[in-house]
Structure 1
Amino acid sequence: MIHPFERLVVRHTHRIPLPHGPLGRGGAAARQFDAALMSVGFKLSAALLERLAGLSAETVLDTAARTLDTVREMVGDHVRHNVYFVDFPANVPDTADFWERCVAEALADEASRDGTVAQLRTGVVDLLTLPSYGNYRHTHAEMLAAHEELIAAAGDRVTVLHPGGTPDEEVTALYLALAGSTTPLGEEGLRDLSALAGHCVDGLQPEAIPVRENRAVVNLARLGAGAELLVNTVTDVLRLACALSDGDVTLVEPTRLRSLSRPVRRALLASLDAVVAAAPAKLADVTAHREAFKRLGERLHPHEYPRWPHAARVFAVARGEEEARSFDSRVEALLAVDDVTGAARLLTAAPGRLLRSLDRLLRACRVQDERDAVVAAVEQSVPRVAGRVLLAVREHLHNRAEEARGRRVFVNRQGRAWVTTDDRAPVPSRERERLIGVLDAETRRRLPEAGHLLIDPDVLDVALPLSGRATAAGLGVLPRGSLSPVDGELLRFFVHWKQTSRSTDYDLSALMLDASYETLSWLSFTALTDVGGEHSGDITNAPDGASEFINLRLDAVRGTFIVPQVNIYSGEGFEEAEESLFGFMLRDAEQEGRPFEARTVRMKSELRGPGRVALPLAFVRGSDGRWRAKWLHLYLRGNPNANRVEGNRVSVAVLVRALVEREPLTVRYLTGLMAGGAGAVTVWDGTTVPDGPVTYIGLERPDGLHPDSLVVTPENLRALIPG
């Protein structure tokens, strides 16, 4: 029997659940499976190959078919990637010559001649009116025939798949990991958690669900199963109502609440009543989402249920009929009369708010006694603060050093960013150092004993995933701010999109900047060639899907930064299109192959942001001459139509500069703290692994680790964040 969530397990964990099936001699089938995986950059671990070899060939082949479909989609090989210029990257024409050729072909076409002549008389020709512009001129098969087979290289990506437990064990473990995550999940993670929560509602549950968005998703499943809801604030109930309406459980975007059945209304009102009865002060939370609670009251009809009077008070506060002074307003009142000490003392009742207000409190202090009181309040409160808040404030203080002043960058939950001048007064250096010591000590106290710590050095500059919204869904994707090595001679970006209902034109571009973030050049549909690079040609309509590529020879690239971007020229947004994805490949100079080769793909991510310009990452040349990827995951608002790299190059440069110059808290920080309590620390050399169990932290799980090892890779990096 095939488990319905086997694909999720493979995608999230890179493990294949042990398939059900009779024993047999499946060795030949397992080797065929392994060979097929290697063609798309994956491989079976030695242990998994051995386990599959003991099953029947039919079972192995069934597993292979399902897994291959999953991994091909993970890497972007589930679609047909075609190019406008059939032998790209060879023979890409000069842009002006290409446009002249399109005009000549339009003049030779009787159907388009008159219209083209009329445009020429005005001095302006719309490329989109030329018959040979923007549409594939050959089939996918013809494009494949024009390219030599890819030459295998030692640097090709190999993602190893490892053996898992039974399907039920793997699915339960994945559900517990997602539901119990100490950091918010991204859109994909929440969607997968929703599916798993319904399946696992009667099974094992996490000891705690610290992230409230996760709790709303789990509560939705529990409500459907008639189980007790996990609610301890009035906002938990509002989030659940949004989940019932397929809305935004983060409460960032307004949700149009649906009419609710009588049993659901009773369950929500009973929960609200219990929360307020136990802690009337929690009514103050209503004011932060006053309008949403008004809409919820219209759906719940609290006047019909007099047995829950405390629930009715929630909506009275929302309507302004009852006052519930918020905690924040009490803090503001103290700060308004310059009572910083009183504000710090009050904030100890809400430790998370205290740490988030820390910068402001320190800047408001006038004398040393007040600064000492603020630090003392923090020392008293840190044991009750969530781990991700400790780390976020530690990162903030690191970037508030006097020499780090200059620009402030803000990124919202949707990936939209803006930059402004940092005109804040500095945080006093003495208090800054004292607080950093307090936060480091508390974080170290919470970290588990690592035993023998085995570290892949390539993971050290990966940013800690303090929020899943700072990482797009996909393969090889790292959190915003991460740096990862780029080892290869040819760098190739790709974008693929498929429109849902109307003509849609996405444009892949790459902006080259110097060390001062000034524009040197770009590659796009308006500049098909440049020193060291080629564009595959502009596709302007994607009813069956379309792809564009940019090829770069890294040793020929001028400047310090390469910034790929995807501009929406016209049509559907990233969230409207049926499919939209971005990725990059790395190849050796002598490798041939097709424009898209799955085993050279280093990263593939979904494009699902709200803006009209996507900035997935940038490539940075270091002082040592090596290139590294700097992960951005940003979206610019852009224009409604006709977005082009020329039009946004200044704003892109400002954003890139702000993100590059800000230092995130990385894995290096946590492993440094963990090393103090580890029995031994080994830097992995990429070949041999210790015989005994280890705590391994790296980009990929090595083959041959002891089965009792604790393994942390980008797929479960949030496991490093202490609770």
Structure 2
Amino acid sequence: MVHALERLVVRHTLRVPVPAGAAGDGAVAARRFDAALMSVGFKLSAGLLAELSGRAPETVVAIAGRTLDTVREIVGDHVRHNVYFVDFPANVPDTFEFWMSCVAEALADDKSRAATAEQLSSGVLDLLTLPAYGNYRHTYAEMLAAHDELLAAAGDRVTVLHLGRTPADETTALYTALAGSVTPLGEDDLKDLAVLAEHCTDGPQPETIPVRESRAVVNRVRLAAGADLLLDTVTDVLRLACALFGGDVSLREPTRFRALSRPVRRALLAGLDAVVAAAPDKLADVAAHRERWKRLGERLHPHEYPRWPHAAEVFAVARGEAQARSFDSLVEERLGRDDVTGAAELLTAAPGRLFRALDRLLRAADTPAARDAVLAAAERVAPRVAGRVVLSLREHVQNRTDADGGQRVFVNRTGGAWVRADTRPPLPEDVRERLTALLDDETRRRLPAPGHLVVDPAVLDVALPLSGRATAAGLGVLPRGSVSPVEGDLLRFFTYWKQTRRSTDYDLSALVLDADHATVTWLSYTELTTLEGAHSGDITDAADGASEFIDLRLGAVRGTFVVPQVNIYSGEDFEEVEESFFGYMLREAEQRGRPFEPRTVRMKSDLRGPGRVALPLAFQRDDDGRWKARWLHLYLRGEPSANRVEENRVSVSVLLRGLLARTPLTVRHLTALMADTATTTRLWDGGTATPWDAGAAPEGPVTYIGLERPAGLPAGSRVLTPENLRDLIPS
């Protein structure tokens, strides 16, 4: 268990916990550890190397083994990446010639000759029936032997691992950071929170757990430990019940409730009773999940516990035996009477809902006086609205400028995306200006004074992580909407998957679009080679894991956009397989090396989404010829089977056009607001020893915001990097 917690700390923070232990001469072991890390693109910080050098060698070796396993998994090097064409990207054949060679081999084989000949006579040939198609024709060792060693390049990725505190301290800090996050966590982070919560039940707790899903995960652990539950709505109890059965605490998907022990039933009913007794109006929330409450009531048997009559009211409302009008119905009633100001006034009792409904209210307000009343209501409740809701509305407002009915992009919590025509009338300019000023003033008021503020310019175009669901677990992953530069001669995509029960075929593809989002070409198993690059070959079964690659020469790309995608042709979806991930590497033309070289990996993200077509990110060439990545983290529904880049290229083009028309709220926005109260503000890209001129360094700590933690910051400095950028969102 301790080692599992250590892995979580390294993965989330890039810090290595060092336990208390005997001193010794571990310098040789520490240097070997550092060298091993560098082979996969990681390195020990000076402080961590010095600390390990003073520890007993056996301690260093143990830490090294565990940490190496962790970082190899982070970068995707924990599996073997083979390719169909043994010396890819060299000697990849023309697609038609390759298919004909497979046919010729099938006709030469006594076992497959008759069936292949019959297919040819019918005019329709199934490639999957050809023995030479879709399966590795060589071993992993034979593939390695076909490739030269990777030559080192100045642009190779180096991710620094820093010295952590003791394992107990690091575990507690990570738990409180995740549990106390003001933004919703992704699915993987919620699972990690559950593990950490079990270990930290008796230790320090965050002051609040503001996100309901996180609260449900923690409550499940607290219930098992006999601790007090954190409940203030009836829906908190429903989420806890879902957590007990491993269900969806976000309540998007149904959970199958099973029998519960008497102690658990008593705890849930007592919690419900206390919530309703304290605030009877919270019964109105029951209607939103009426059917779930009915199913849960069948397991809780509230009629057996007359001492908790308020809990019984919840299930009476769910069954329709008692009335409790929902808050939303009261709002809709007023809007139905065209009483916009009355609806806004009612919503002041639920500030978050008011902010989420502001666009609709302002559109419904048909007079300047009505709009003033709506805005006045928003101004009164602004201090009581969650920071991420304030920023989400700010992002929404800055994108409400299209007066000619353009495209509206919808992205749900799981990354599913679709496009519709935007038929909303524009908001008046004076309304937008007043609302923007309100939101910026409220955000500025909540941001802590940064003192000396130091910002890496590379982080300015990173989108604010307003939800952990807008990213995926992995290495170098940025929130949806972020933009990051791409520098190198060769861009290589890769995907890996391993099926769980049934044969599964994923297809890596890359769509090239011009400036008007029209198709130029694509690379896939149906187009193995183009002027732009080459595909490594189609693998159609992944019982032992499978990899596919696409090599692109950026200078040869004829379009403006490159959109990599992973299509499910057949078998298990992204949430069924044992493992699946996507990433990209950057190399110089002369580096060579194996198809997969961890030192050149710039990004690797897990593929866990609801659709059959994954769109992790897109690449765009600017007018000056420079490339940049735009982070998508999206999934298209696709077809049940046989998804191909040729079939979804129009959908991808429309979606990309709509997304590029939106401007996300980025770190640049918050740093500009923070600069208003900063003692000093410096932009620093690491090109000089320090961000300050000689003799101008501050005596105290600084607030640093960047993509990586730099060395040499003053003691006590606050450091915000992608690993903890959610801490930048004010509460």
User: Does TM-score exceed 0.5, indicating one fold?
Assistant: yes
CA apart distance, 1:405: 4.9
Alignment of 1:709 with 2:717, yes or no, is yes
Q: What's the CA shift string for 1:261-298, capped at 9, x where partnerless?
A: 00000000000000000100000000111111111111
Distance in 1, Cα, partners of 2:241 & 2:631: 34
Q: Is the 8 A contact 1:505 1:571 kept in 2?
A: yes
Distance in 2, Cα, partners of 1:344 & 1:180: 31
Secondary structure in 2 aligned to 1:110? coil
Distance in 2, Cα, partners of 1:660 & 1:435: 24
Residue of structure 2 in register with 1:559 after alignment: 559
How do 1:461-476 and structure 2 match up within 5 A? 461-476=461-476
Residue of structure 2 in register with 1:122 after alignment: 122
Q: What's the CA shift string for 1:27-67, capped at 9, x where partnerless?
A: 11111111110000000001111111110111111110100
Q: Is the 8 A contact 2:458 2:685 kept in 1?
A: no
Distance in 1, Cα, partners of 2:199 & 2:313: 35
How do 1:96-175 and structure 2 match up within 5 A? 96-175=96-175
Residue of structure 1 in register with 2:574 after alignment: 574
Q: Is the 8 A contact 1:14 1:161 kept in 2?
A: yes
Quickly say closer, same or farther: Cα 1:453–1:611, change in 2 above 3 A.
Answer: same
Residue of structure 2 in register with 1:291 after alignment: 291
Alignment of 1:494 with 2:494, yes or no, is yes
Alignment of 1:660 with 2:668, yes or no, is no
Q: Is the 8 A contact 1:397 1:436 kept in 2?
A: yes
Q: What's the CA shift string for 1:102-137, capped at 9, x where partnerless?
A: 111111111111111111111121111111110101
Normalised TM-score (structure 2): 0.98
Distance in 1, Cα, partners of 2:664 & 2:120: 53
Q: Is the 8 A contact 1:620 1:630 kept in 2?
A: yes
How do 1:439-478 and structure 2 match up within 5 A? 439-478=439-478
Q: Is the 8 A contact 2:403 2:425 kept in 1?
A: no
How do 1:370-449 and structure 2 match up within 5 A? 370-402=370-402, 405-449=405-449
CA apart distance, 1:602: 0.5
Distance in 2, Cα, partners of 1:679 & 1:404: 44
Structure 1 gaps, min length 5: none
CA apart distance, 1:3: 4.2
Residue of structure 2 in register with 1:341 after alignment: 341
Secondary structure in 2 aligned to 1:277? helix
Secondary structure in 2 aligned to 1:618? strand
Distance in 2, Cα, partners of 1:660 & 1:365: 30
Secondary structure in 2 aligned to 1:530? coil
Residue of structure 2 in register with 1:267 after alignment: 267
CA apart distance, 1:404: 8.2
Distance in 2, Cα, partners of 1:415 & 1:4: 29
Q: Is the 8 A contact 2:528 2:537 kept in 1?
A: yes
Residue of structure 2 in register with 1:719 after alignment: 727
Distance in 2, Cα, partners of 1:404 & 1:722: 35
Normalised TM-score (structure 1): 0.99
Q: What's the CA shift string for 1:182-230, capped at 9, x where partnerless?
A: 0000001000000001110111000000000000000001000000000
Secondary structure in 2 aligned to 1:714? coil
Residue of structure 1 in register with 2:220 after alignment: 220
Residue of structure 1 in register with 2:545 after alignment: 545
Instruction: Give the letter for the 1:699 counterpart.
Output: L
CA apart distance, 1:19: 2.9
Alignment of 1:512 with 2:520, yes or no, is no
Q: Is the 8 A contact 1:362 1:428 kept in 2?
A: no
Distance in 2, Cα, partners of 1:683 & 1:291: 54
Q: Is the 8 A contact 1:19 1:63 kept in 2?
A: no
CA apart distance, 1:459: 0.7
- Larger mean CA deviation between 688-697 and 299-308 belongs to 688-697
Query: What is the root-mean-square deviation in Å for CA atoms of aligned residues?
Result: 1.0
Q: Is the 8 A contact 1:3 1:167 kept in 2?
A: no
Distance in 1, Cα, partners of 2:635 & 2:325: 37
Distance in 2, Cα, partners of 1:647 & 1:253: 29
CA apart distance, 1:680: 1.0
Distance in 1, Cα, partners of 2:477 & 2:690: 25
User: Which aligned runs of 4 or more in structure 1 are off by greater than 4 angstroms?
Assistant: none
Distance in 1, Cα, partners of 2:65 & 2:405: 54
CA apart distance, 1:478: 0.7
Distance in 2, Cα, partners of 1:454 & 1:404: 41
Q: Is the 8 A contact 2:408 2:422 kept in 1?
A: yes
Instruction: Give the letter for the 1:299 counterpart.
Output: R
CA apart distance, 1:315: 0.4
Residue of structure 2 in register with 1:640 after alignment: 640
- Larger mean CA deviation between 271-280 and 13-22 belongs to 13-22
Distance in 1, Cα, partners of 2:340 & 2:710: 52
- Identical-residue share of aligned pairs (%): 73
CA apart distance, 1:706: 2.4
Residue of structure 2 in register with 1:583 after alignment: 583
Secondary structure in 2 aligned to 1:357? helix
Distance in 1, Cα, partners of 2:530 & 2:302: 67
Distance in 2, Cα, partners of 1:341 & 1:395: 24
CA apart distance, 1:147: 0.5
Quickly say closer, same or farther: Cα 1:404–1:446, change in 2 above 3 A.
Answer: farther
CA apart distance, 1:623: 2.0
Q: What's the CA shift string for 1:489-532, capped at 9, x where partnerless?
A: 10000000111111110000000001111111000000000112
- Larger mean CA deviation between 456-465 and 14-23 belongs to 14-23
Residue of structure 2 in register with 1:610 after alignment: 610
Distance in 2, Cα, partners of 1:38 & 1:405: 52
Quickly say closer, same or farther: Cα 1:3–1:544, change in 2 above 3 A.
Answer: closer
Q: What's the CA shift string for 1:407-448, capped at 9, x where partnerless?
A: 111111111111001011111110111010000000000001
Residue of structure 2 in register with 1:60 after alignment: 60
Distance in 2, Cα, partners of 1:33 & 1:657: 47
Distance in 2, Cα, partners of 1:225 & 1:421: 51
Distance in 2, Cα, partners of 1:389 & 1:98: 54
Distance in 1, Cα, partners of 2:619 & 2:258: 45
Residue of structure 1 in register with 2:694 after alignment: none
In the alignment of these two chains, the number of paired residues is 723
Secondary structure in 2 aligned to 1:582? strand
Residue of structure 2 in register with 1:79 after alignment: 79
Distance in 2, Cα, partners of 1:443 & 1:251: 30
Residue of structure 2 in register with 1:178 after alignment: 178
Structure 2 gaps, min length 5: 692-696
Q: What's the CA shift string for 1:652-703, capped at 9, x where partnerless?
A: 1111111121111000000110111111111113232355522111111112
Instruction: Give the letter for the 1:77 counterpart.
Output: D
Distance in 2, Cα, partners of 1:707 & 1:623: 43
Residue of structure 2 in register with 1:253 after alignment: 253
Q: Is the 8 A contact 2:450 2:674 kept in 1?
A: yes
